[in-house]
Structure 1
Amino acid sequence: MNNPSVDVRQWIDSRPMTRYQWAILGLCFCIVTFDGFDAAIMGFIAPAILQEWTISKAAFGPIMAAAMIGLAAGALLSGPYSDRLGRRRVLLVSVATFGVFSLLSGLAQTPWQLAALRFLTGLGLGAAMPNCTTLLSEFVPARMRGFLVTLMFMGFGLGSAMGGFVSAWMLPHWGWASLLFLGGVLPLLLLPLLYWALPESVEFMVGKGEPAARIAKALRPMGGHFDSTSRFIAQGNQPQESEKRGVAGLFSSGYLRITLSLWGTYFMGLLVIYLLTGWLPTLIKDAGLPIERAAVITALFQLGGLAGILLVGYAMDRISPRAVIALAYVAGAACVLAIGLVSVDSVLLGPLVLLAGFCINGAQTGLNAYAPAQYPTLFRATGGSWMLGMGRFGGIAGSLLGGTLLSLGLPMNTVFAVLGVPAILAAIALASGPRSQARPSAISLGH
């Protein structure tokens, strides 16, 4: 006699959100918020460090680069471990890592000490975000996934903005080290709550062949009531080539085009974002506006992104997610090109920057919600984290490209014409990728 099967993916998708699932969203939101605070804090404290240590901006460059390299390495390393050991365990380690090394960064006495500690902090920061994305994606209904994952990513912007306000208050009183101490204390205070309340992914447990009694217990807070005859399966737990796992699975038959598509899209998107946010103030100032005005206009890019994140996530749950993201990139490219066609003193400059941020930041964050569903559970975290890790190199390229373009003395419209190209390429890369196909796996009670 066959035991009745429960597809945990379909079961979660068919039910309303429970308080338990909202609590998981809240915990992931907190992790991403502290991630955003710690990732942005160096920009706020850099002037104070330069003054206290009497070093040049060039000497400070390796400190900033070390954190970026750590972010990329953390994302690349964490995915395979998450697929092998579990999302929960890797998340706990990543939060502890960036908490401890942020604290130690406040004790640094030389630029090279600070660079090394910021690299280690970056390892934790880079690991946290993709694993939050994967865990939350596997716990929420598919019909709400786009909105809820992008809602979680709002925490990153909140944390970054919080860093500015807190810095303005703490720097005059306690100095730059106090901000790094705070960036370490906050996640470490959250860690006991995460250890107690953060669950392991049910889909991961099914894919790993965990005892069905444990899976039934994990589903109970979401309203699950299962008896001794229940069997659990989950769509997408087996890759098409079952012998391949981890990074090898990303290049297996049926997933290679998806992998390259996501990498290309994320790389191009971050290239545009880092180039704009890093060099737009200088570009506008060189065109004749005061630096205060340039800073305000650049801030509009981030402000537009907050609204774009929510709208793109909402639309992804109602229309084809891939089409929504691709169209947002195309619209963002159009806005960037339009910026180059108006003068710096035009009243249209601010609204166009706002719309560019709305579209490009919305598309980029939407891609984080889109990517996990493109891979089977057994290498889903690897797929998401490697996309973020490879995309970080786009951010590095954007920072370098901006300096090169400005050094050439190109006119503003030419610079923005160049900027529109990677946004278009991001849309093309995404549209060229196929959808993944996955097969279910099963486990029965007492297995």
Structure 2
Amino acid sequence: MQTIDVNAVIDRDKLSPLQWLVFFLGFLVFFCDGLDTGIIGFVAPSLLEAWGITKPQLAPVLSAALVGMSIGAIISGPLADKFGRKKVIVSTTLLFALFTILCGFATSTNDLMIYRFITGIGLGAAMPNISTIVSEYMPSKRKAFLTGIAGCGFMLGISCGGVLSAFLLESLGWAKVIIIGGVIPVILAIVLMLKLPESTQYLVKKNQTAQAKSILEKIQGQAFASDVQFRLAATETNNTAESPVKQVLGKYLWGSSMLWLCCFMSLLVFYLLTSWMPTILKTAGFSTQQFSLIAAIFPFGGVIGATIMGYYMDKTNPTNVIKYSYLLAFLLFLLTGFVSSNILLFGISIFLIGALLAGAQSSLLPLSAMFYPSTCRAVGVSWMHGIGRVGAILGAFFGSLIFTFELSLSGIFYVLAIPTLISFIALSLKVMGEKSKNKAALNSRELA
């Protein structure tokens, strides 16, 4: 009987049509996630005027989805490791799509808050699991780059939400803009149901050999011998029979903790900016078109940044690439505080911050997918995302408090520099922990 290494089939020099399909579908899931996230922030000023409510009254609406995202991410990891990535991705994409549409029919802040909470559960569950399955289908030499490019769909979706709002908000109104943002992922959920393959690593672990064989034959472009069995790499197996949760909280606890802290602080800043930047800029005197387009520049910069980071993550230590991006973002936040009165320099600074901060945030998903083996990857990636979303919740609430503190535009950017620096410190500690662990392992081998 012939034994085939699953990763040897996937690690091709040239991606197969099926691998490109997984990549493209992953990109679209990220795009729809970002589109939903972006639209609600961009329609916030119109919602304030239409319903005659205050900014603090809107804060629970903006943060409700973030609470749902945190819950969805945390519970989806164990579910995906048990029932499969595809089932979780399809069902949660359909969930956030339908409830996004319902948001367009909300008549009160309470209704909108409930709909946004359920929407968030779907959003939070879909993103880390689509990142996991894309990572598992990409060749190891280009895993970070291609997974990062797929994740750029999120940033591009936020930017498109800004462009959509800039040109349709005044003519159609906030409700119809939101509904448009929900119809698109409904169509995508149907396509995912029909076309997205299950993770081959998951299928092999669950002894679903026939299905894994069919998928791998499509990847390599030819049939296997009739008598064949599949195996995973040594790093992808669990010889201790520990549950995925025990692995994350045991062997990978230090690295996980630092990823959680980094993601927490990063998402705090990211969601404060994406949720409140339009309102902050409008309060500072920018016109509707100006604040929509400037706010859209921020996530679009993340697309460029994540692309460049993904390339270098495959060439060198991936954690170092991201940690230095946070350090540069910290310095840029300080610089932006000095140039906030010049709209041209301010716009350029926002773009560069997006390239570094949003790019690094997007790159955390492929980084965590590379950090964990397939035996606990869904849990590890999802939990980092879920715990990070707690930071996003605080970011949304802190955004509303900014107006009570009456901080200047410069002062806001000085404050946001602090959690960005903490993200850099967290990844630095992760690298130090890995070096210490590798050194201890090397000494142990030498003594043996």
Partner of 1:441: none
Q: Distance in 2 between matches of 1:370 and 1:191?
A: 26
In terms of mean alpha carbon deviation, does 344-353 or 178-187 score higher? 344-353
Q: Distance in 1 between matches of 2:48 and 2:311?
A: 43
Is 1:339 the counterpart of 2:339? The answer is no
Question: Which deviates more, 30-39 or 139-148?
Answer: 30-39
| 2:378 aligned with 1:357 | no
Task: Name the counterpart of 2:175.
Answer: 177
Decide whether the 8 Å contact of 2:163 with 2:292 is kept in 1: no
**1:302, CA displacement in angstroms?**
3.0
Q: How do residues 251-330 of structure 1 correspond to structure 2 at under 5 angstroms? A: 251-252=249-250, 254-277=251-274, 290=286, 298-330=295-327
Equivalent residues of 2:42, 2:292 under 8 A apart: no
Equivalent in the alignment of 1:242:
241
- Aligned to 2:232, the other structure's residue is in SS state strand
Classify 1:49/1:291 alpha carbon distance in 2 versus 1 (closer, same or farther; 3 Å): closer
| Alignment match, 2:418 | 421
Partner of 2:198: 200
CA contact (8 A) 2:3 2:231 kept: yes
> Offset at 1:55?
3.6
Q: What CA distance in whole angstroms lies between the structure 2 residues aligned with 1:427 and 1:192?
A: 40
Alignment counterpart, residue 59 of structure 1, candidates 38, 57, 60? 57
Q: 1:296 Cα shift?
A: 5.7
Structure 1 runs not aligned, ≥5 long: 438-447
Displacement of 1:403 in angstroms is: 5.1
Aligned counterpart, 2:371 = 374
Give me the TM-score of the superposition, normalised by structure 2. Answer: 0.86
How far apart in 2 are the matches of 1:194 and 1:404?
A: 40
Aligned pairs (5 A) from 1:75-114: 75-114=73-112
Structure 2 unmatched runs, 5+: 439-448
| 1:116 has 2:121 as partner | no
Relative distance call for 1:205 and 1:158 in structure 2 (3 A) is same
Structure 2 vs 1, CA of residues 6 and 59 (structure 1 numbering), >3 Å: closer, same or farther?
same
Match of 1:179, SS state, is: helix
SS of residue matched to 1:37: helix
SS of equivalent to 1:209: coil
Q: Which string of whole-angstrom CA distances, capped at 9 and with x for unpartnered residues, describes residues 235-283 of structure 1?
A: 23334642323x333202x211121011011112112323445566777
What SS does the aligned partner of 1:108 have?
coil
Return the alpha-carbon distance in structure 2 between the equivalents of residues 285 and 179 of structure 1.
Answer: 20
Bigger fraction of residues in helix: 2
Counterpart amino acid of 1:128? A
Q: RMSD in angstroms over aligned alpha carbons?
A: 2.9
- 1:267, 1:390 within 8 Å by CA — same for their partners in 2? yes
Greater Cα shift, 392-401 or 316-325? 392-401
Structure 2 residue identity aligned to 1:9: N
Q: CA deviation at 1:111?
A: 2.2
Q: 1:149 aligns with which of 140, 144, 147?
A: 147
2:60·2:397 contact (CA, 8 Å) conserved in 1?
no
* Partner SS state of residue 17, structure 1: coil
Q: Give the distance between the partners of 1:410 and 1:103, measured in 2 at CA.
A: 35
2:188 partner letter: L
Q: Normalising to structure 1: TM-score of the pair?
A: 0.86
Shift of 1:417: 4.5
Q: Residues 237 and 19 of structure 1: is their aligned pair in 2 closer, same or farther, counting only changes over 3 Å?
A: same
Distance 1:317 1:360, change over 3 A: same
Q: 1:384 to 1:174 in 2, by over 3 A?
A: same
User: Sequence identity of aligned pairs in percent?
Assistant: 36
Mark the CA change 1:261 to 1:349 in structure 2 (over 3 Å): closer, same or farther: same
2:444 corresponds in structure 1 to none
Give the whole-Å Cα distance in 2 for the aligned partners of 1:23 and 1:204. 18
Deviates more, 1:65-74 or 1:49-58: 49-58
Which of 18, 22, 25 is the aligned partner of 2:23? Answer: 25
Inter-partner Cα distance in structure 1 for 2:177 and 2:402: 34
Tell me, yes or no, if the aligned pair for 2:330 and 2:417 is still in contact at 8 Å: yes
1: distance between equivalents of 2:163 and 2:278? 20
Deviation at 1:70, TM superposition (A): 1.3
1:377 maps to a residue whose letter is S
Deviation of the 1:60 alpha carbon: 2.8
* Deviation for aligned residue 1:414: 6.0
Native 8 Å contact 2:330 2:420 kept in 1? yes
2:218 to 217, 221, 226: 221
Q: Distance in 2 between matches of 1:337 and 1:48?
A: 30
Q: Say if 1:45 and 1:176, in contact at 8 Å, map to a contact too.
A: yes
Q: Match of 2:6, as an amino acid? A: V
Distance 2:125 2:388 in 1: 14
Q: Is the 8 A contact 2:97 2:119 kept in 1?
A: yes
Bigger CA drift: 379-388 or 395-404? 395-404
1:444 corresponds to which residue?
none
